[in-house]
Amino acid sequence: MTDMDSGETPEGTVAAAPPGEGKAQAKVKKSPRARRTRGITAWVLIVLASLLIPISVISVWAIRTVTNTDQYVATMAPLARNQVIVDHLAQKATDELFSTGIVKNKVEAALPKAAKPIVTPVVNEVKTYVYGLAVKVFESPKFGQLWDYLNRHTHDAVVDVLTGKQSKLTQRIEKGGGIVINVTPQLNDLISQANAHGITLFNPLKAVLATGNSLGVTVVSKSQVSKFTTLFNLVVTAKWAIPVVALVLAALGIIIGVDHRKTLLRMAIGVALVTMLLLAGLSLGRITFINQAGHSFNRDVAASVWDTVLRFLKADLRWMLLAAVLVALGSWLAGPARYARWIRSTCAKGGRWVAAQAHELSGDAGRAAAGSERTRRTGGWIVEHLNGLRIVGVVVAALFLVFGGNLTGWSLLIILIVLAVYLGLLQLVAAWARKISGSATSSGTAGTA
């Protein structure tokens, strides 16, 4: 029998590989490269989706709120009921009436020359009274209805101005490149109100207003329009493309990712970070918008316009941030991290504890003993989870800061005071819990002895 017959391989020869083994080895060699390619592709999709998903919120807002007439009217309606704007319009209308010098001339003609020093005080008193009438005029429901009517019929022109288009419509509301709403009917109404109260000094102005001179309120000035026209035009032109592309990229990223849970977690974190950047950008944009207010545009009015027009957008971005945080938290809790496992097990224990307490409360026997035992258990649970309860308080305060809108110094101070009170009360409860749990431990030791 030869060496070949005995199954031994002669020295210097290479044994033939079994069929299919070479393909398996090639597959093993290609596997790391394929995983690396999938990982890189998933990361690219994560970055793109993280950028486009928050931007799509702006796109949807622009499509549904600004370019839709009904939504636009509903968005602008609170401006006519805003006290800052009402006071501004009343002051502007009053200044318009007194700018001609008619009142001063009438008062000087009515008083003797010896009373000339009191002309200015009398004019100021009349002006204060007329201002009060003007406030009532602009606070009336009739002005709110007129405001909604004007916004509805000038909406197309507003969109043209914001997108940089020039048309006959824009000439109806555009003054020096800005958006100005004509409120001359309210000025005529104010003159009629003054007549009803015996002040007929302003009747000559009705003829002046009829010749074409008008009173307008600037909604957006020319410099403000120029700052945001490019961005708004891009969003409106893209329309629904941005949201659709964002969703497609997000789905592809999760599918291609080697670990779907980690991919979803990373994408949610990315969306949250970009959303926070956009919210910060809106805060900076508000400062820019106010600083770009012209001489005819009051800064307080500019702030009111910005806050009113963008209130739905800021709310949508905050909801997006909350959704991203919840998705990220859920993805992390579902993972194998040590603290994630601890939270899951603690929640499970808490659920079983609550179920056991409910079962004991529903029983008829031993309720008194169970009550004292429950008190000791509650004290022990508070001591064990004291840090977690503190973190919950801080997180809730942070949520109020993020989703609380334009917080003032007083509201921020109130949040901090409430947080401090909560932490102080928690410390007192913890001292009580330690006392209860300590007495239970000492009594158990004495019973054992």
In this predicted model, what pLDDT tens digit does every residue of 301-333 receive, in sequence order? 778 888 888 888 888 899 899 899 999 999 998
22-51 mean pLDDT: 76
Longest dimension (CA), the chain: 149
Residues 411, 415, 416, CA angle at the centre, nearest 5°? Answer: 115
Taking the C-alpha atoms of residue 162 and residue 229, their distance in angstroms, rounded to an integer, is 5
Determine the pLDDT at residue 293.
65
Asked whether residue 430 carries a pLDDT value surpassing 50, the answer given is yes
- Between 269 and 11, the higher pLDDT residue: 269
Residue that is written with structure tokens 């064990």 in the block: 384
Most confident among 66-70, 167-171, 375-379, 440-444 (mean pLDDT): 66-70
393-412 mean pLDDT: 70
Q: Residues 432, 379: contact at Cβ < 8 Å?
A: yes
Q: Residues 278, 54: contact at Cβ < 8 Å?
A: yes
271-295 mean pLDDT: 83
Nearest by Cα to 175 from 125, 214, 233:
214
First-to-last C-alpha distance (Å) of the chain? 86
Determine the pLDDT at residue 358.
67
pLDDT in tens, 66-97: 778 888 888 888 888 888 888 888 887 778 77
Sheet containing 174-175: which strands, arranged edge to edge?
174-175, 178-182, 216-220
Taking the C-alpha atoms of residue 272 and residue 156, their distance in angstroms, rounded to an integer, is 34
Asked whether residue 256 carries a pLDDT value surpassing 70, the answer given is yes
Look at 108-117, 121-130, 382-391 and tell me which has the smallest mean pLDDT.
108-117
Determine the pLDDT at residue 266.
93
CB atoms within 10 A of CB 363: 9
- Between 296 and 3, the higher pLDDT residue: 296
Tokens for 341, please give them: 């496992």
SS3 content of the chain, % helix, strand, coil (to 5): 80, 5, 20
152-164 mean pLDDT: 69
Burial of residue 395, with CB atoms counted within 10 A of its CB: 0-12 exposed, 13-18 middle, 19 or more buried: exposed
Most confident among 114-128, 246-260, 306-320 (mean pLDDT): 246-260
Look at 142-146, 250-254, 338-342, 414-418 and tell me which has the smallest mean pLDDT.
142-146
Mean pLDDT of the chain: 74
Determine the pLDDT at residue 14.
46
3-state secondary structure 349-411: HHHHHHHHHHHHHHCCCCHHHHHHHHHHHHHHHHHHCHHHHHHHHHHHHHHHHHHCCCCCHHH
| Phi-psi label, residue 293: left if phi above 0, alpha if psi -120 to 50, beta otherwise | beta
Strands 216-220 and 174-175: unpaired
The structural domains of the chain, with segments of one domain joined by +, span 34-338, 372-449
Q: Rounded to the nearest 5°, which phi and psi values hold at 63?
A: -70, -45
Model's pTM, two decimal places?
0.63
Taking the C-alpha atoms of residue 385 and residue 403, their distance in angstroms, rounded to an integer, is 27
157-171 mean pLDDT: 60
Residues 167, 171, 177, CA angle at the centre, nearest 5°? Answer: 100
